[in-house]
Amino acid sequence: MLTNLTIALDMMGGDYGPRSSIPAAILAVEKYPNLTLLLCGNEAVLRQALSQAKKINHPRLIIKHCDEVVTNNCEPAHALRNKRKSSMRISLDLVKSGQAQACVSSGNTGALLSMAHYVLKMLPGIKRPALITSMPTEKKQPVYLLDLGANVLCDPETLFQFAIMGSIVAGESLDKENPKVSLLNIGAEDIKGHEGIKQAAKLMSECSYLNYQGYCEGSDIFSGKSDVIVCEGFVGNIALKTCEGIAKLIMLKFTKALKKHFFYKVLAFLLRPVIKKLYKKVNPDQYNGASLVGLRGIVVKSHGNASNKAFLAAIDEAVREVNRRIPEKIQTAFKKMSDVEETSIS
């Protein structure tokens, strides 16, 4: 674990901006005595928020003034060309320059992906970055799902690379030497799926670096049978938001039960500890913070509507990634694979 950590925060992004990012930042520096946060955003707004929280002179909350904000409806190409002084861009620039070891943003996903790709560049040998996060399962350990929307469509080689990166992230997070990797498909049989999925499966099954388990279906995501599940971004994003919807449905049904007949009120009261425990397990807030892997730096994407606790969870994820040195380990793995390929060819 590193002695000192410095993380840049895009304070103005997302639906709530400083209303969620300021309380989360304060909680983070209280939680991590070795953490310094670079707060990127409008200085006047941030100073007022910190003053109201009586943290204006906190030595580990440092404001970095930014003139611009990337809004949720801003086109990625426009943001890349015209928002160089935005809180999102400055956060990434601080990582590139080495002033920060990671950045966290709840801002426009497309803009963040474009900017991160342009500013930080890809690690050698990797075609595309991927969004990865952990999701709850029936077992104690979570499952890591990627891609969550960075790449809507993926060719077989890209899916194969996602499997390698996902295996490294899961291995470090779960302390496993050979995490089980599966490929999400419409069925578990070898004949199922389109040709691209079948080609990706072939690449994964032939790779000695992967503990490839074969196809898995959507119903297996939360079973705990796999440590890593690989899919295209279109599919992964739907799966992630389905999980969030289930969590909200559980609490909605529980709340409605309290308002019904006396019998339901009694039943709901008796089941309250069980429901709360279940909700805590699937609560989207604690799983907030998808890492953008494959880049020459650590970038964590928070939900746009993240609450204080959710944004704190994204900061937690950034701290873990810095301590685990994920980009370095991904680069090492791909270099080893490249060296083996060159040796076999020669």
**For residue 143, which amino acid is it?**
V
The pLDDT tens digits along the chain (346 residues) read 667 899 999 999 988 889 999 999 999 999 999 999 999 999 999 999 999 999 999 999 999 999 999 998 999 999 999 999 999 999 999 999 999 999 999 999 999 999 999 999 999 999 999 999 988 888 888 999 999 988 888 999 999 999 999 999 999 999 998 999 999 999 888 888 899 999 999 999 999 889 999 999 988 988 889 999 999 999 998 888 887 777 777 667 666 666 665 565 666 666 666 555 555 555 445 556 789 999 999 999 998 888 888 899 999 999 999 999 999 999 998 888 876 665 554 4
pLDDT at 12: 95
Q: Are 141 and 188 in contact (CB under 8 A)?
A: no
The pTM of the full predicted model, rounded to 2 decimals, is 0.86
pLDDT at 293: 95
**For residue 287, which amino acid is it?**
Y
pLDDT at 274: 56
Query: How many beta carbons lie within 10 A of that of residue 186, not counting itself?
Result: 13
d(C-alpha 205, C-alpha 5), whole Å: 39
Q: Are 259 and 114 in contact (CB under 8 A)?
A: no
pLDDT at 265: 61
pLDDT at 290: 87
d(C-alpha 191, C-alpha 170), whole Å: 28
Domains parsed from the chain with CATH numbers? 1-126+294-346 (3.40.718.10), 132-252 (3.40.718.10)
For residue 226, give Cα distances in angstroms to 135, 145, 154. 11, 10, 21
For residue 255, give Cα distances in angstroms to 46, 102, 171, 248, 262. 36, 39, 39, 11, 14
Tell the burial category of 209 from Cβ atoms under 10 Å away from its Cβ (0-12, 13-18, 19+): middle
Tokens 């650590």 label which residue? Answer: 298
pLDDT at 346: 47
